[in-house]
Structure 1
């Protein structure tokens, strides 16, 4: 029987859960206020705030932080990684301190390492955001000095695809899936026989609740050099203030649907645009496997919106059966993956920077 602490750091929250013998016995989503984080000049400055919040929560709930068999952390955007587990050690920690992109998920491993040392156990990450199983043909762009970054919601999409395969009485490794993770950002993955061979990341495809998605390159360059915005402000335009936020002033699909129910035709049009763009990218990925798709899965928080999923389903169901799996099982996936490592069913990698 294993006791595993799971840590998942997001932009304004830190999720944690305690799994005992595979069961989620305690879970919390610690929300960090803007006032709490505004004094942090860098992402790394948030580390002690988030670590102390976790330790406080555990202590307040009678959980001894020295009594874990492993700590499982979300893997971030620290480089390019293989699928599966990585031991958190100095190479990985250094990469998380100086990541490819500055994403809060990189803090998870750093915090996990600290708590694991207290507990006298090991910390791991599993199916990191930066897992790269994509073929070279899918990473090459029209500019020789730019390659696509294959960053996506690997953890949830793979875990969900495995669950759907099991529900059909088949092995994940024997099937082809297109999985759309629809949250604050949207990424769409093509899983061919157990590998994510191509994808659409959250900055190159459909608009999402808070991200702009694919943009006309010339128009965006013109805006960048218009003198109206700084680099940080432009980054906010595409990630944070894009998508539904830009068009409708909210990232909440509940709010958008309320607008539509109240007769707001523009809100209805924008939701149609988002569904149209998601469906179009699903169709594009189907061409990579010549239409041989066993199942299309719509998952993530936005999949709770029947209005959205039905619009997508109408457009893509000719390709393959569509399965709706609302929400995300990232915490469970982390615990399950590291349990397999502890049981010896899976090994783990040591990170080596390319």
Structure 2
């Protein structure tokens, strides 16, 4: 497939001539859920947010929160499919005067998990883009189909409105081939699109840039190791604003120990389980993606509960925590070597932002690398980016809350705004 046009030429003439609006609706469509936020890009403020979950079930749930005043609203009733879900979202937005028919709505930005090598930037969606996202389903079977469903539903509801895809993999397309290639037969790898793509890219992009801002520097002047630690977890090495390595690979299974995913593992374990354990590929897939990681090690994937158990002397929880931290340290050290010079390490996402014991344990023992955590600063909780390293530390250690929705909206609006200029 040929490369897509640059953002400045991607929109059709009839859209380019339309008056510029300032709102962006961000949609994150899962297999049975839709998360959404409506933002005003004049200042990045949120106007509304919500979640539709259990789509297709009798107990579907929609929770909508107007963020400009008013109480949250919740409804529990059957929602048959994504079309019904988006219509319900549109109805809730309309109650707050924020309907999808508003002339102030500039675009809808869609989170798309896998863009392969093709999509390196946010892209206005047309038939060729849809076809390429569909062709990538074999390397993202759990995510791209749901993303496509959300896109097609939104396009049917507002065919006149620019729909923009923002790809989780895009930020990582700057990785050199030495980092992106697996050491397998090149012809086989190319035929089946086997390479390291990386994920959580919108978060890594946002956090690396916000970390540079926290340090009072331009992104191009800063080398950052970003640790996105949630139920899914990934690390990235960012040199001068560009990703040069990341822990997730062909799929989100590679890399760090996660809530339910194993992370790095000898691939021969799979052959062993097939030959000796008699397990099918589907059973192994379920084992490694849903029954491994922290939950496989100790039965819990909530770090708060694991830490409670550790404090009470639970040995299984302690071992799970130690394995989690050991893998994290290995990636910090590896990416320090890849970057050569590190200006900051940034913790983000649910665990990274809230679990002070994880941050302390991950940095402990790395003083020779210029890394340290101030225990008092580390104990402080807050919603703003902050430093938790001592004042005289050679390398800054930061907590930087991620904002993937704002990043998607920003990229979407930059594309639509430039094209309307």
Please report the TM-score for the alignment, with normalisation by the length of structure 1. 0.86
In structure 2, the partner of 1:161 is: 208
The answer to whether 1:55 aligns with 2:87 is: yes
In structure 2, the partner of 1:44 is: none
In structure 1, the partner of 2:162 is: 122
Cα separation, 1, equivalents of 2:326 and 2:420: 39
Deviation at 1:297, TM superposition (A): 1.1
> CA contact under 8 A between 2:173 and 2:197: conserved in structure 1?
yes
In structure 2, the partner of 1:296 is: 345
Deviation at 1:245, TM superposition (A): 1.2
In structure 1, the partner of 2:177 is: 136
In structure 1, the partner of 2:114 is: 77
> CA contact under 8 A between 1:208 and 1:244: conserved in structure 2?
yes
Deviation at 1:3, TM superposition (A): 1.6
In structure 2, the partner of 1:344 is: 418
- The alignment partner of 2:262 has SS state of coil
Deviation at 1:78, TM superposition (A): 4.1
Query: What do residues 246-267 of structure 1 show as CA deviations (whole Å, max 9, x unaligned)?
Result: 1122221122122223321220
Deviation at 1:15, TM superposition (A): 1.1
Question: Equivalent of 2:54, from 20, 32, 41?
Answer: 32
Query: What do residues 213-270 of structure 1 show as CA deviations (whole Å, max 9, x unaligned)?
Result: 1112333321133353221111111112110111122221122122223321220221
Cα separation, 1, equivalents of 2:55 and 2:302: 18
Deviation at 1:172, TM superposition (A): 1.1
Query: What do residues 89-145 of structure 1 show as CA deviations (whole Å, max 9, x unaligned)?
Result: 112212223322213255335423532453321111224335422111112333224
Deviation at 1:200, TM superposition (A): 1.0
Deviation at 1:54, TM superposition (A): 2.7
> CA contact under 8 A between 1:185 and 1:208: conserved in structure 2?
yes
Query: What do residues 308-336 of structure 1 show as CA deviations (whole Å, max 9, x unaligned)?
Result: 1111122446253221224x311111111
Query: What do residues 23-59 of structure 1 show as CA deviations (whole Å, max 9, x unaligned)?
Result: 111111222279579xxxxxxxxx9723421320230
Question: Equivalent of 1:215, from 251, 265, 270?
Answer: 265
Cα separation, 2, equivalents of 1:34 and 1:226: 39
In structure 1, the partner of 2:300 is: 250
In structure 1, the partner of 2:38 is: 18
- The alignment partner of 2:399 has SS state of strand
Cα separation, 1, equivalents of 2:166 and 2:254: 24
The answer to whether 1:179 aligns with 2:226 is: yes
In structure 2, the partner of 1:91 is: 128
State which structure, 1 or 2, has the greater radius of gyration over its C-alpha atoms: 2
In structure 2, the partner of 1:324 is: 399
Query: What do residues 171-197 of structure 1 show as CA deviations (whole Å, max 9, x unaligned)?
Result: 112221111111222111111122111
- The alignment partner of 1:343 has SS state of helix
Please report the TM-score for the alignment, with normalisation by the length of structure 2. 0.73
Q: After the TM superposition, list the runs of 4 or more consecutive aligned residues in structure 1 that deviate by more than 6 angstroms.
A: none
Cα separation, 1, equivalents of 2:58 and 2:144: 18
Query: What do residues 143-168 of structure 1 show as CA deviations (whole Å, max 9, x unaligned)?
Result: 22445322221100110111111122
Deviation at 1:75, TM superposition (A): 2.0
Count of residues paired in the alignment: 336
> CA contact under 8 A between 1:16 and 1:27: conserved in structure 2?
yes
Name which of structure 1's ranges 313-322 and 133-142 shifts more when overlaid on structure 2: 313-322
> CA contact under 8 A between 2:134 and 2:148: conserved in structure 1?
no
Gaps in structure 2 of 5+ consecutive residues: 1-20, 60-78, 371-394
> CA contact under 8 A between 1:204 and 1:213: conserved in structure 2?
yes
Name which of structure 1's ranges 235-244 and 257-266 shifts more when overlaid on structure 2: 257-266
Question: Equivalent of 1:206, from 251, 256, 263?
Answer: 256
Cα separation, 2, equivalents of 1:101 and 1:315: 38
Cα separation, 1, equivalents of 2:174 and 2:256: 22
> CA contact under 8 A between 1:159 and 1:333: conserved in structure 2?
yes
